[in-house]
Each structure stands twice: as C-alpha cells, then as structure tokens.
C-alpha cells in the first residue's frame, strides 16, 4: 500500500496548523475526502444536476440513472440481496430515527401488530412464544452512541415501556450471558453497535443476531464505526438492519444509508411523508410507493449519493486486506507506545478492537490535553463522544480518543504519542 500516493489524494491533510504539520486523528468523527469524491460531487453540479425520478427530460433521466446506480453500488458493497433494500438517508442518526419511528408505528397499528405477534415473534420451530400484552421493550447495549440509544429510549418511554441494557465488563466487552437473559424478557427490537465509537470494541454481532433470532427478535446493527474499516456482509451477518454514515467512510456529509431485509422494510410503515414516497393520493386516502422509495420522501441529496458511490469505488480500488493490516498496525503501535506514559489508563481493552484508542491520564483533564496537543498540530477528540453512559460506567468525565483512517502513518502515531507525553508533563 503506497501511503504517499494515497495521501496525495487527500489535499486537506497536507497543511500546517499553528505552524505544525497537521496530524489528523479524528477519523471516527469524520474522515477526510479524496479528490475523486470531491470531483464527483462537483461534476454532478456542473453537468448533471437535476431532480430525479420525476422528469421525462434527458438530465433528469441521467441523474436518476446515476442515483440508482449508486444505490446498487452500496448494495453490492455490503452484500445486500437487492438494491431496493438500501434506503438513502442523511446518515446513521437519521437511519436510526427512521427505524425507531417506523417500529413505533408498526407496534401501535393494530392490524399489523397482530400480524407481527403471529409471524415474527415465533422462532422457526414455534418456540419460544412471546406472552400476550407484554410491555414494549427495546434492548440496547451499554456502549451505544446516543444515536442508537435516545431514539429507542424516547420511543419506549412514550408507551411506558422499558429500555433493556446489555452490560459490559471493565475491558469493554459485552456480557453475552446477560444478553441471553435479557432476550428472554422479549424486547421487540435489539439495537447494537458493530464497533464502539469510544472503546473500539468489535462486538460479536453475528452471534448476537443468531441468538436474537432464536426468539424471532429483529436486530439493528449500527455500522457507523465499522464500514470504513472492515468488509461488511449483511447476509452473512444476517442482521435485519444495518445503518451507516457516508462521511465516516470518505464520502460527503449529508448522505448515509439504511439496509433492511426486504420483508422487514415491506412491513414497516413510512417514516416521513411527502413527494416521491406515495403511489396514489386523494383527500380521503394515500397509498405508498414500493421499496425503496416508500422511505425516501422529498428530494434526496443526489450529489452526495454519487459521492458516496465514488468513495466506495475508491475503497474498492485498494486492497482491503492490506488496509485492514495497515490500520491494525497503527493501532498496535499507538497502544504499545502510549502504554509507556505514566498514569495512563486505557478505556476499552477488548481483545477484538479496531480503529481507535481511548484513554485518560491520572491528574490530567482530557479536554486540557486535547487543547494542548491541538497547538502541536494533532487533532483528536476529547469528551464523552456522544456516549455519556459509557463515561458513567467507567466513572470518568471523558476520554482522549485518537481514531485512524487508511491514510494515517506510523510517523503520525509517533507525533501523537510525543505530543501526549509532552502535554501530560506540562499539565501535571
């Protein structure tokens, strides 16, 4: 893998901040974009811009074709069975709000509800069976980003329901025995992060999906932190839903996706209403469009969807195994070197982890450390990382988090560790 060549495609990396070369280690928040992605979006606005699906004229048809091609590219990238199982959204947060809202409507629509309890909550051999009139529950884990927690929490609270939480140990590993026990409480949905944005833990999602399916419970996997780092195969994972953000995988902001198994997406009612998602409309009644359009109300972000397709093609153009190895090497190196700093405590020490390292240092506030190393050119994130319950679990106000992308180098790891060492000495 030629990192110099790769970095030349990310002009934003080649700059000085406060007179120091920029070391960008905030990739879990958002990755930088390669030239090809920027040019694709620009090209769309220069030559193809048009509203899609509605026009008979040349430009509209061209833009429609390009948008639907992008959908197919996303489907292939995550190994979805069909392109109609991909809904374009603004990103992970919108995808999860869509699901929480649509599930709420599904559960509280009587006709469909009776279908759900007869069809979906039975395992294939007919056992076990959910008790009738049970309280609405959703099962999440102790390490969720607020985006995969608050929408479900608000949804259950509106109906006097309950959020069940899978606990984790001190290393940041989920307790699967507790998970099994909680599944016996009949949550309607399980929602889990593939990779924690604070701890870097890679959760055993395939196993967790299998376990939930024994109870006929659908599983939502939050792939915000996994899709840029690992190959995703939603059919192999067998998850019912997989959500992600384009901007964390080298694509523009404002675009992302929701994968859902067609049989679930068919059942779920629409999330937003308006143009494009309808079939027939009268003052008395509206019928809805087929998948995927049923979930794409209004004018979508076509340019960003095309940018997302180009970002995927960019990643596909690299050897993904080599990329994984490179990122694993960066992580190994940073952990080994940081471990030599006095008073450091890693937050998240699972054996299977990826993409990032989080830590605190005795006597040093994460915010102060982040601010000082910023002046040395190093960009990291400090704080609760939109996962306050994780901070509570570890009894800390926040962490310093360095997160990696394929363009980072071992030299940057060294620059980062040196900056942390210097800052910690200054602050103690």
Q: Which residues are catalytically annotated?
A: 386
What the block records as the tokens of 66 is 């390009």
CB closer to ligand PLP, 221 vs 306: 221
Rounded-to-integer distance, Cα 142 and Cα 149, Å: 9
Tokens of 284: 């008395």
Minimum CB distance to ligand PLP, residue 372 (Å): 24
For ligand PLP, the closer CB: 59 or 150:
150
Q: What angle do CA 132, 135, 141 make, to 5 degrees?
A: 125
Q: Which residues have CB under 8 Å from 423's CB, separation 6+?
A: 364, 368, 369, 372, 373, 376
> Least Å distance between CB 194 and ligand PLP?
8
Q: How far is the CB of 251 from ligand PLP (least distance, A)?
A: 11
User: Distance between CA 122 and CA 141 in Å, rounded?
Assistant: 23
Q: Which two tokens stand for residue 179?
A: 């998970």
Task: State the residues that interact with ligand PLP by CB under 6 A.
Answer: 28, 91-93, 145, 147-148, 193, 197, 222, 224-225, 245
The residues near 282 (Cβ < 8 Å, ≥ 6 apart) are: none
- Output the smallest distance, CB 400 to ligand PLP, in A: 16
Q: What is the DSSP string of 228-274?
A: TTS---HHHHT-SEEEEEGGGTTSPTT-EEEEE-HHHHHHSPPSS-S
d(CA 74, CA 20): 38
- Judged by beta carbon, residue 73 or residue 225, the one nearer ligand PLP is 225
Of the pair 232, 423, the CB lying nearest ligand PLP is at 232
Q: For the CB of residue 356, give the shortest distance to ligand PLP in the complex, in Å.
A: 10
Which residue, 84 or 385, has its beta carbon nearer to ligand PLP? 385
Q: Which long-range contacts (CB under 8 A, 24 or more apart) does 279-288 make?
A: none
Cβ proximity to ligand PLP: between 120 and 154 the closer is 154
Q: What is the DSSP letter of 160?
A: T
DSSP letter at 364? B
Residue 93 or residue 382: which is nearer to ligand PLP going by CB?
Answer: 93
Instruction: Work out how close the CB of 255 gets to ligand PLP at its nearest, in angstroms, rounded to a whole number.
Output: 10
List, in order, residues 6 or more apart from 140 with CB less than 8 Å away: 148, 149, 152, 163, 164, 165, 166, 190, 191, 192
Closest CA to 161 of 191, 139, 192: 139
Distance of CA 372 to the CA centre of its chain: 29
Q: Which of 75, 22, 133, 76 is CA-nearest to residue 419?
A: 22
For the CB of residue 284, give the shortest distance to ligand PLP in the complex, in Å: 37
Which phi and psi (to 5°) does residue 365 adopt? Answer: -80, 135
């Amino acid at each position: 893998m030629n990192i110099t060549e790769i970095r030349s495609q990310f002009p934003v990396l080649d700059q000085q901040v406060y007179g120091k070369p920029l070391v960008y280690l905030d990739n879990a928040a958002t990755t930088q974009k390669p030239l090809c992605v920027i040019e694709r979006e620009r090209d769309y606005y220069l030559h193809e811009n048009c509203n899609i699906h509605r026009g008979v004229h040349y430009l509209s048809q061209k833009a429609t074709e390009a948008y639907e091609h992008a959908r197919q590219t996303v489907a292939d990238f995550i190994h979805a069975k069909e392109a109609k199982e991909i809904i374009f959204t603004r990103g992970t947060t919108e995808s999860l709000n869509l699901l929480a809202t649509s599930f709420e409507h599904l559960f509280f629509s009587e006709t469909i509800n009776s279908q759900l309890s007869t069809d979906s909550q039975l395992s294939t051999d007919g056992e076990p069976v959910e008790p009738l009139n049970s309280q609405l529950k959703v099962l999440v884990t102790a390490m969720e980003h607020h985006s995969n927690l608050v929408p479900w929490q608000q949804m259950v609270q509106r109906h006097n329901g309950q959020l069940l939480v899978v606990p984790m140990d001190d290393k940041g590993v989920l307790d699967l025995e507790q998970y099994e026990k909680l599944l016996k409480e009949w949550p309607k949905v399980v929602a889990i992060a593939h990779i924690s944005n604070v701890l870097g833990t890679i959760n055993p999602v395939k196993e967790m999906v299998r376990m939930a399916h024994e109870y006929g419970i659908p599983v939502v996997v939050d792939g915000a932190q996994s899709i840029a780092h690992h190959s995703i195969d939603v059919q192999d994972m067998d998850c019912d839903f997989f959500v992600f953000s384009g901007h964390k995988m080298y694509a523009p902001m404002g675009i992302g996706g929701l994968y859902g198994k067609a049989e679930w997406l068919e059942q779920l009612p629409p999330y937003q209403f308006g143009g494009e998602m309808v079939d027939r409309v009268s003052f008395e009644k509206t019928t809805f469009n087929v998948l995927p359009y049923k979930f794409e109300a209004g004018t979508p972000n076509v340019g960003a969807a095309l940018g997302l397709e180009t970002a995927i093609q960019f990643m596909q153009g690299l050897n993904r195994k080599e990329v994984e190895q490179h990122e694993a090497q960066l992580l190994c190196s940073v952990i080994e070197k940081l471990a030599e700093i006095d008073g450091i405590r890693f937050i998240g020490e699972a054996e299977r982890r990826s993409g990032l390292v989080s830590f605190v240092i005795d006597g040093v506030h994460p915010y102060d450390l982040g601010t000082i190393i910023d002046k040395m050119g190093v960009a990291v994130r400090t704080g609760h990382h939109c996962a306050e319950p994780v901070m509570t679990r570890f009894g800390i106000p926040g962490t310093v988090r360095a997160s990696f992308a394929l363009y980072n180098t071992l030299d940057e790891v060294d620059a980062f560790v040196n900056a942390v060492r210097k800052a910690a000495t200054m602050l103690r």
